Amino acid sequence: MPRGGPDGGDGGDGGNVIFRVDPGLNTLYAFRHRRRFVAQRGKGGRGKKQHGRCGEDLIIRVPPGTLVRDMDTGLILIDLKEPGQTWVAARGGKGGRGNARFVSSTRQAPRYAQPGTPGQERRLSLELKLLADVGLLGLPNAGKSTLLSRISAARPKIADYPFTTLTPQLGVVELSDTRTMVVADIPGLIEGAHQGVGMGLEFLRHVERTAVLLYVVDCSQGGEEALRDFLIVREEIREYHAQLLEKPQVLALNKIDILEEKDIMRAEAIFKGQDMEIFPISAITGSGVQELLEGLYRLVRHARRAEAARSREMLEL
């Protein structure tokens, strides 16, 4: 500026790209059609020592249970689980300094400025593992969706053909004002699911976050057939991740409304050697469902307490 000295202002910082957990979301569907996210650039400085405005942050909403992985290194960067939790995925660049910053007693008229720095750029992959207390497992048409609709306000699609449920469904079960738990209906598995047959690999990962596994089998076809179905599902879990079988497990013998009492007792006897609690139920009529829920809640509470104790031990170390 003639006879007034340098008056170039600083440039504004670029905005950050931020992930924020939104408990109202339960899928990553929004990322199917959009893969590139860019925060706003900072504005350049101007004369009269006017600084440029900083760019606005870009907030990306993700569901609870989202794992963020660096695509270049394969490392897990963050596990976004808590509602409202935020994480800066990419930081904006720093704005440059105008020439007014470089005035000194020996340099009255600097003719250069400091350029800004580029923002951070990352290639990330997102993976969703639903957070639920209980995971419903079973072959297609075992009655999982019907059970979920009875015990919660969730309204999954129900029909008499396989793979009715194409996406995981979550339902909140309220036993009382203070006793609640979240139940996830994992879409029906079939033999070979751990190798990607059917929809297996796409949904088996959701089992990892559950505290209790609930197997739902159709016992209306007979105890031997019900046992065969149960063993297929359990073997798929074992092949996918054997440690999952260390979780508490419960068995629901569904569709007892179309069986006689002697057939129900025979089915229970066949499953006695499986070392887990067994509950004969009818998801249609509600018979035995309350007893099942009480048993599940007891196991969930114990599992969550044990998990909290392990977390405290890790923090102390």
Mean pLDDT, to the nearest integer, of 232-239?
Answer: 86
State the pairing for strand pair 124-128/169-174: unpaired
Q: Is the dihedral of CA 200, 201, 202, 204 positive or negative?
A: positive
Percent of the chain with pLDDT over 90: 24
| pLDDT of 79 over the 80 cut | yes
Structure tokens at 81: 């689980």
Residue found under tokens 């504005």: 43
Q: Please state the φ and ψ torsions of residue 71, each to the nearest 5 degrees.
A: -70, -25
DSSP string, 261-315: HHHHHHHHHHTGGG-SEEEE--TTT-TTHHHHHHHHHHHHHHHHHHHHHHHHHHH
For the domain 1-128, what is the CATH code? 2.70.210.12
Q: pLDDT digits over 13-32, tens only?
A: 889 999 999 877 767 877 87
Q: Which of 4-13, 143-152, 186-195 has the lowest mean pLDDT?
A: 186-195
| β-bridge mates for residue 279, sequence order | 252
How would you class 48 by CB atoms within 10 Å of its CB: exposed for 0-12, middle for 13-18, buried for 19 or more?
Answer: exposed
Q: What is the pTM of this model?
A: 0.63
- Tell me the domain boundaries of the chain: 1-128, 134-316
Same fold, 1-128 and 134-316: no
Choose the CATH number for 134-316 among 3.30.450.20, 3.40.50.2300, 3.40.190.10, 3.40.50.300.
3.40.50.300
Mean pLDDT of the chain: 80
pLDDT value at residue 282: 93
Distance, in Å, from the CA atom of 171 to the CA atom of 169, rounded to the nearest integer, reads: 7
Q: What is the pLDDT of residue 311?
A: 63
* Percent of the chain clearing pLDDT 70 (strictly above): 77
In whole angstroms, what is the distance from residue 18 CA to residue 290 CA? 43
CB 93 within 8 A of CB 116: yes
Is the pLDDT at 59 greater than 70? The verdict is yes
CA distance 184 to 22: 18
Beta-carbon contacts of residue 107 (< 8 Å; ≥ 6 apart): none
Q: Which long-range contacts (CB under 8 A, 24 or more apart) does 301-307 make?
A: 302/248, 303/211, 303/212, 303/247, 303/248, 304/133, 304/211, 307/211
The angle at the Cα of 247, spanning 243 to 248, to the nearest 5 degrees, equals 155
CA distance 292 to 288: 6
Where does the pLDDT of residue 4 fall: very low under 50, low under 70, confident under 90, or very high at 90 and above? low
How far, in Å, are 96, 314, 315, 316 from residue 310 at the CA level?
Answer: 47, 6, 9, 10
